[in-house]
Structure 1
Amino acid sequence: MVGKGGNAKMPVDAAARTKSLKMHHYLLIAGLMIAAAAVILLLMGRNPICTCGNVKLWVGETNSPDNSQHIADWYTLSHIIHGFLFYGIFWIIAGKIPIGQRLLMAVAVEAAWEIFENTDMVINRYREATIALGYVGDSVLNSVSDMLFMVLGFFFAARAPLWLTIVLAIFFELLAAWVIRDNLSLNILMLLYPVSAVKIWQGM
């Protein structure tokens, strides 16, 4: 194709003219996905906040009715580790696509888990297989916070050296195991294949 000045010009594909999304666009979409998950949880009958009527930044007692009802608790560490894992997994299987797209994939998985985790089936499974005998599901506030902490973990893993992310994940797991006798690894184990010795130890 020749322009008026006689200079050759390459044809421009319409798709090539489309600018890729900026990170703030991906963050906006992620925020909308989290908001959509919150609406679904509300429609499922989940409490918006703790039935106590208060909103706390931190709850350190796992055997309290406040656990999984406020902004952060010891299980928040597990959701930060989710972010570490999702960044690593999606970097391995989809490392060539923009990090913003991988973030949306991570948010989709985390949101799906938060919804699934708060179904009667999973709540009853927690009661039967773990020490969470009084578990009634998460408040919507807690679920949204969990998703946001996953995003925090995702971006930390994206910027930090791999060794630091691994060390921090191990530290979080050991800290939670020491303080509350539970963590992400034990949670997965007890949901999929309950071990009576672990349940007895956790209940001590």
Structure 2
Amino acid sequence: MTRNRTFFWAAAIVAAAVVILYMMGRPPICTCGSISLWVNEGDSPRTSQMLADWYSPSHVIHGLLFYGLLWLAFRRLPIELRFLIATVIEAAWELVENSNWAITRYREATIAVGYTGDSIVNTLSDIGMMMLGFWFARKLPLWASAMLVVTLEVAALIAVRDNLTLNIWMFLFPTDFIRNWQAG
């Protein structure tokens, strides 16, 4: 598969996700009416509405993990096809994450009490972050990819008392001790 075809199919996957999110009622940009590059708080109403926030590193980690898992499971497939599979998985996750069921679950089980879902621009950024992580994993040695995962997890943990690991844990197994610690 050529680079142009890979780019075309990746763009088509992302475009389909945008259309579905729009049909689900997700706002294109923050309902506050602005777009910012970065939101530094983990619990701001603008979190998950702008281009990047402390949850963006978790999507880079998705890309690193998808690369590794797809290499283990399908190493004979061309890298372009594995990249497209990763893009489909990430886009599907974004659709699930922005479903009413998942938004309600985040509000009930995690510290994201005011979570309303992602804006479409944030979702596009999240998918782009996964793509960046996939590219990093392809270019970096395994030890460097592992160190990047640890660094991103620790940085988010220190900054906002949350990260991919805790996010998954609290979504699946809400724990009062962790919720209280995260709330400060």
Q: Which has the higher helix share?
A: 2
Gaps of 5+ in 1: 1-20
- Picking from 170, 173, 183, the partner of 2:153 is 173
* SS of structure 2 residue aligned to 1:156: helix
Fraction of identical pairs, as percent: 49
Root mean square deviation of aligned Cα: 0.7
Once the two structures are TM-superposed, the CA of residue 24 in structure 1 deviates from its matched residue by 2.7
* Alpha-carbon offset, residue 165 of structure 1: 0.5
What do the CA deviations read for 1:36-77 (whole angstroms, capped 9, x no partner)? 101100000000000111111111112211100010001000
Structure 2 partner of 1:51: 31
- Paired residue type of 1:65: P
Q: Deviations over 1:3-44 (max 9, x none)?
A: xxxxxxxxxxxxxxxxxx212321221111011101100000
Matched, 1:67 2:47: yes
SS of 1:67's partner is coil
Hey, which bits of structure 1, 4+ residues long, moved more than 3 A? none
- The structure having more radius of gyration, on CA atoms, is 1
The within-5 A match list for 1:178-193 is: 178-193=158-173
Equivalent position to 1:28, from 8, 11, 14: 8
Give the Cα separation in 1 of the matches to 2:71 and 2:3: 17
The total of aligned residue pairs comes to 184
Q: Please tell me the residue identity of whatever aligns with 1:70.
A: M
Amino acid at match of 2:147: V
Structure 2 CA distance for aligned equivalents of residues 32 and 56 of structure 1 = 26
Q: Which has the higher contact order (CA 8 A, sep 6+)?
A: 2
